[in-house]
Amino acid sequence: MSDNQEFGSEIEAGSRFPLTIKRLGINGEGIGYYKRKITFVPGALPDEVVVAEVTSVADSYINAKIHKIRKQSPVRVEPKDATYSEVGGIELEHLNYKGQLAFKKDVIVQSLERYKPRGYEHYDLKETIGMQNPYEYRNKAQFQVREKDGHVIAGLYKPKSHDLVDLKEFSTQRPTTMLVIRHVVALLEELEIPIYNEEAKSGIIKTLVVRESFDTGEVQLTFITNSAKLPKKRELVMHILEELPMVTSVMQNINKGETSLVWGDETINIAGQDFIMERLGKMKFKLSARAFFQLNPVQTGVLYDEINKALNLDKNESLVDAYCGVGTVGLYVAHGAKEVRGMDTTPEAIEDARENAVLSHQENTTYEVGKAEDILPKWLEEGFVPDALVVDPPRTGLDDQLIEAINKSRPKKFVYVSCNPSTLAKDLELLTKSYRVDYIQPVDMFPQTSKVEAVVKLSRRSSGK
């Protein structure tokens, strides 16, 4: 087939054509235009000329892959991982790190231009803060476990599939984390413990979750299982404790049947402690198996310093830490405030937050279980009006009810921590009725990926302005 096949109604999977890549999309894919039709090409970089091979066609766009590169970008580098093109989490490994940081700033620009929140053309959007070593930064791995060709494998699914890629190495994970996973996989195979089979909906072991403390080196291992029963549990635990001394907590989470959710509601202790300890600055944190904690502790310190700087609290000010998790953000800045109140929907996280406050000797904190959009209006009704607010919402952004409560209470100081530029820009459409954006500071929490975090400092508008 000619690489110069003319585009027309006949274009289909397998068709090839030359394409100049104009920019990167929000997921890190190369974007070009073929006969004015937008074409997405994962792995392609701006200013490259590639021969694109069509993988699927929709009414308004084309999906393609690189058949070959005719003109290569000077910022292209050789990926470290052999599985780079097969799994997510390292989708920008072919782009040098300076290029990654520039891309992450541009993703925010793209989102602002799409939603056009008030005054967006004049926002002070700063350069992305990166890492000195953008590898081996993840403190947690969540690998699916399956059986293939008579062997136990553990890793990640190929995008949009349930085809599991066995990961023996993964450059963004800590070496100890990978050592624990590979050793446990070998034990599961050796002991012939039943592995979950999606088609038959049978077997026991579904997922391995390993979390490593950067502060202590302790490792927590969680088996996510299809039933409460765990065959050869005693023998398995004996091997783990003898052969992997860094593992100080072994847990089992029960998640029965076919479900898209990784975690079930019940978690039990198999051996060791229920938690591991982590530290950020002077703050100590107790992490249970399901507790949320930032995946990159090195950059988390950088991120929280930026939050602290943006809030600039004084001793007479009260702070609400919405979506507080185990209390990390609020506790990090609590020393500068009169009072910190936090809320989260996960009861275990709130329990951890309360304990973490004790561990960190912060007596000015209060935590409640519940949705931010329910708890903040309740506090307002009770007469509590915060001086400052920090929100760190999930990728879906802020709930409309919470935005309404924010616009009603109008805390003087407001910091929005975003992990999704699209929902940030969308939320700013509504928030800029009451607030002005002082600046946006991108922080690279996940090198080698298309994800970017941003700290947004907002200040309350004068009434009517």
Strands 219-225 and 247-254 come out as: parallel
Find the largest Cα–Cα distance for the chain. Answer: 72
Tell me the pairing of strands 283-288 and 275-280.
antiparallel
In degrees and rounded to multiples of 5, residue 132 shows phi and psi of -70, -45
How many other CB atoms are there within 10 angstroms of residue 176's CB atom?
16
Are 52 and 13 a contacting pair, CB within 8 Å?
Answer: no
> Are the beta carbons of 339 and 366 closer than 8 angstroms?
yes
Q: Are the C-beta atoms of residues 155 and 167 closer than 8 Å to each other? A: yes
Q: How far apart are CA 271 and CA 132, in angstroms?
A: 37
Distance CA 169, CA 212 (A): 16
Residue 19: closest CA among 1, 7, 8, 28: 7
Query: In whole angstroms, what is the distance from residue 72 CA to residue 165 CA?
Result: 28
* Phi and psi, residue 58, nearest 5°: -120, 175
Q: Which among 210, 419, 428, 443 is annotated as catalytic? A: 419
Does residue 324 have an active-site annotation? no
Q: How many Å apart are CA 420 and CA 188, to the nearest integer?
A: 37
Q: Tell me how far CA of residue 198 lies from CA of 190, 203, 257, 258, 266, in angstroms.
A: 21, 9, 9, 7, 21
| DSSP reduced 3-state for 128 | coil
Whether the Cβ atoms of residue 445 and residue 294 lie closer than 8 Å to each other:
yes
Q: Which two tokens stand for residue 242?
A: 């003898």
The tokens for 379 are: 């506090």
In 413-452, the DSSP E strands lie at 413-418, 435-443
Q: Are 367 and 341 in contact (CB under 8 A)?
A: yes
First to last CA, the chain: 62
Active site residues per annotation: 419
